[in-house]
Chain A
Amino acid sequence: MESSYIIGSIAVAAVLTYVTRIIPFLLFRTREPSPLIKYIELNMPLMIMVILVFYALKDVKWESYPYGLAEIIGVGVAIALHVKFKNALLSIFVATLTYMILIQKVL
């Protein structure tokens, strides 16, 4: 592969990734945020976060063995621990460990 091709691609990808991130700041730079923008700012993060959970699970093969069991249990452990102990690190560590053991040793 030509190094000019690699460098050119990296530069283009870098600039365009940054553009996707800065668009809203350019669009709403001058005006005071409208009530609608404030409403979006307040509520969109929760929706984004929930959708990110499903996005993280998008490659799971639900229709064949083990039917996403490791993911369901992992998510279940994270929810249960977090509701009970409210300690983010604990929930994440134990859920991840559970998941790793399940896919490496059990399923």
Chain B
Amino acid sequence: MNFLAIFKLTIPVMMGYIPLGMAFGLLLSKLLIPWYYAFFMSAFIFAGSGQFLVLTLFASQATILEIGIATFLLNLRHTFYGLSMISTFKNFSWKKHYLIFGLTDETFALLKTTEVPEANREKVYLLITFLNQCYWIVGSVVGAMLGNILPFNYEGIEFSLTALFVVLSIELYKKNRLHKPFFVALIIGLFGMVLFPPQKMLILSLCAAAFVLIVFKRSMENGK
């Protein structure tokens, strides 16, 4: 895979990360926090909703301990992503720590659906992760510096991330040997969206999905 092909894969993430990053940067500047903290947060935390959460907690003067606990709980869903990456990353060099660090919702989605020959898998994965983080950093820094003066009405462009998830769901559905998990997830997602509190929706739905997947392993594997 050459650079151009990899770049093309990350374009939907770029379309989502730059405006979302800008929204983050804008919010940060509204709290009168200097712009370079947007860079540090996107470089060292690199978690979309996690960073928004930290800003919200800044605004309400939360303690560092509270910020830590809330961040940990919010990002706990990433543990599930790692669980699906263990054997993929297993033989990678120390550089895999950057891959683990950079395992956001969107990066996970791309890594899991990109077919790469084993020989250059590590390099391709690193580049995908790095490009995604660059978009996020650029978006947040630009947002923090000049978020107010937008030349174009970007409203709604973050829908590209929704569309990305839709497309990748279809791809994974076609690739997956078992189809029952798809329908179970559809039901859990729908119920989760309606019934669970928005902030806990993702982690609760993922726990429910993992629970059903493990407890009903036998019936999942029956008759495809």
Contact between B47 and A48, CB atoms less than 8 A apart: no
- Per the bound structure, the CA–CA distance linking A55 and B83 in Å amounts to 20
For the complex, give the distance between the alpha carbons of A53 and B161 in Å. Answer: 9
Minimum distance in angstroms from A23 CB to a CB of chain B: 5
Interchain CA distance A21-B99 in the complex, whole Å:
10
- B169–A1 touching, CB < 8 Å: no
Say how far B152's CB is from chain A's closest CB, in angstroms.
Answer: 11
Q: Which of A38-90 contact B (CB under 8 A)?
A: 38-59, 70-71, 74-75, 78-79, 82-83, 88-89
Do the beta carbons of B198 and A58 come within 8 Å of each other? yes
A93 to B33, CA, bound (A): 34
Given contacts A25-B100, A79-B166, contact A12 B89 (CB under 8 A): no
The contact size tier of chain A is 35 or more
Residues of A near B172 (CB, < 8 A) are 45-46, 49
**Is residue B214 contacting chain A, with contact meaning CB distance below 8 A?**
yes
Q: Which of A18, A19, A71 has the most CB of B within 10 A?
A: A18
* A53 and B178 contact, CB distance less than 8 A: no
Of the candidates A1, A45, A75, the one whose C-beta lies within 8 Å of that of B84 is A45
Q: Are A78 and B163 CB-contacts (below 8 A) given A40-B213, A48-B108, A99-B156? A: yes
Give every chain A residue within 8 A of B72 (Cβ-Cβ).
16-17, 19-20
A10 to B44, CA, bound (A): 8
Nearest A residue to B112 via CB reads: A45
Residues of chain A within 8 A (CB-CB) of B156 are 70, 96, 99-100, 102-104
Residues of B within 8 A of A14 (CB): 44-45
In the bound complex, do residue B163 and residue A92 qualify as a contact, i.e. CB atoms below 8 Å apart? yes
B75-89 CB mask vs A (1 if < 8 Å, else 0) is 111111111111101
Taking CB atoms, residues of chain B closer than 8 Å to A7 are 40
Q: Which of B51, B100, B171 contacts A21 (CB 8 A)?
A: B100
Contacts known (A52-B165, A79-B166, A100-B159); A46 close to B33, Cβ less than 8 A: no
The answer to whether B45 touches A49, judged by C-beta atoms less than 8 angstroms apart, is no
- Inter-chain contact A6/B209, CB cutoff 8 Å: no
Query: Please, how many angstroms separate the alpha-carbon atoms of A49 and B192 in the complex?
Result: 14
